[in-house]
Amino acid sequence: MPDDLLHRLRRFHDDAFPLYEQRFKELVDDGQHPTTLFIGCSDSRLVPYLLTGAGPGELFLVRNVAALVPPYDGSAGYHGTAAAIEFGVLALDVQRIIVCGHSHCGGIRALYGGVPEAAPNLAAWLELAAEARLPVAEPGPEVLRRTEQRAIVLQLERLMDYPMVRERVEAARLSLHGWHYVIEDGEVHVFDVQRGSFVPASRSEHSGTGPYRPAEPEAPIFNEIDGSYRRYTASCGPTSA
Ligand SMILES: [Zn+2]
């Protein structure tokens, strides 16, 4: 049986690597300085480099089922995503965190259909999105889309429980972005906190907001942001969406 993976590795080394060799050399000599932490679903159809046009050294990437953020609850276990958030913010000092879910997400669909008994870790993991579930037995496409989007906002809110994230967001040194990628349209819908909804990037004036507006070097620091954040949480909670 031909070893397709070996063929691909050789093709990368011979054909693709030379195109980026100088860039990789710089990234080794100078170290990596990515400005964006991208938390995305593991789904194979979500390709962060294609969406953002990013090259080597630009994205600090962490992916998991359904693009979920574990709670910052004082426990220090084998939380890979939490570790990546801590490293990205504290060591790399990223300026943006993107939480990117997508249409047709199997993880989100499993909130309604359950997961195999042999997957207790998956079942526990998906509890991180349980609050996004809507009270219907048979979710149609619209319910699933809304659930996917609600889950993204939940993760943005949970990010704000990380002290190093909250501190930097409040100091306008870090911005949060909620993205919902619609695979079949090739369009990212970005979360707009002012509208309390997701807006297609083609019609949006920004690349998405978290609970707070994006950091801008000359922007004054918000004082009332806690208020708007909490108002948003209330209006989009599980009982009102
Ligand atoms: Zn997914």
List pLDDT tens digits, range 68-122: 999 999 888 889 999 999 999 999 999 999 999 999 999 999 999 989 999 999 9
**Cα 148 to ligand 1 centroid, rounded to whole Å:** 9
Q: With cut-offs at 50, 70 and 90, classify the pLDDT of residue 211.
A: low
10 Å CB burial of residue 131 (0-12, 13-18, 19+) is middle
Does residue 227 surpass a pLDDT of 50?
no
Q: What is the CATH number of the domain that holds 141?
A: 3.40.1050.10
User: Does residue 40 lie within any of the structural domains?
Assistant: yes
Q: Please answer whether residues 97 and 176 qualify as being in contact, where contact means their C-beta atoms are separated by less than 8 angstroms.
A: yes
**Cα 235 to ligand 1 centroid, rounded to whole Å:** 25
Q: With cut-offs at 50, 70 and 90, classify the pLDDT of residue 198.
A: very high
User: Does residue 26 lie within any of the structural domains?
Assistant: no
Does residue 1 surpass a pLDDT of 90?
no
User: Does residue 135 lie within any of the structural domains?
Assistant: yes
What is the pTM (predicted TM-score) of this model?
A: 0.86
**In whole numbers, what is the pLDDT of the chain averaged over residues?**
88
Does residue 241 surpass a pLDDT of 80?
no
What pLDDT score was predicted for residue 2? 87
**Cα 100 to ligand 1 centroid, rounded to whole Å:** 9
How large a percentage of the chain has pLDDT more than 70? 87
**Mean pLDDT: which of 34-43, 68-77, 193-202 is highest?**
34-43
Q: Which residues 6+ apart lie within 8 Å of 148 measured at CB?
A: 101, 102, 103, 105, 108, 132, 180
230 vs 130, which has greater pLDDT? Answer: 130
User: Does residue 139 lie within any of the structural domains?
Assistant: yes
User: Does residue 134 lie within any of the structural domains?
Assistant: yes
User: Does residue 13 lie within any of the structural domains?
Assistant: no
Radius of gyration of the chain (CA): 19
From the list 155, 166, 167, the residue with the least C-alpha distance to 63 is 155
Q: Please answer whether residues 71 and 161 qualify as being in contact, where contact means their C-beta atoms are separated by less than 8 angstroms.
A: yes
The single residue listed with the structure tokens 């693009």 is 67
User: Does residue 16 lie within any of the structural domains?
Assistant: no
Dihedral, CA of residue 147, residue 148, residue 150 and residue 154, to nearest 10:
130
181 vs 238, which has greater pLDDT? Answer: 181
User: Does residue 18 lie within any of the structural domains?
Assistant: no
Q: Which domain holds residue 155?
A: 35-235
Does residue 223 surpass a pLDDT of 70?
no
**Cα 127 to ligand 1 centroid, rounded to whole Å:** 15
Between CA 104 and CA 106 the distance in angstroms is 6
> How many domains are contained in the chain?
1
**Cα 63 to ligand 1 centroid, rounded to whole Å:** 10
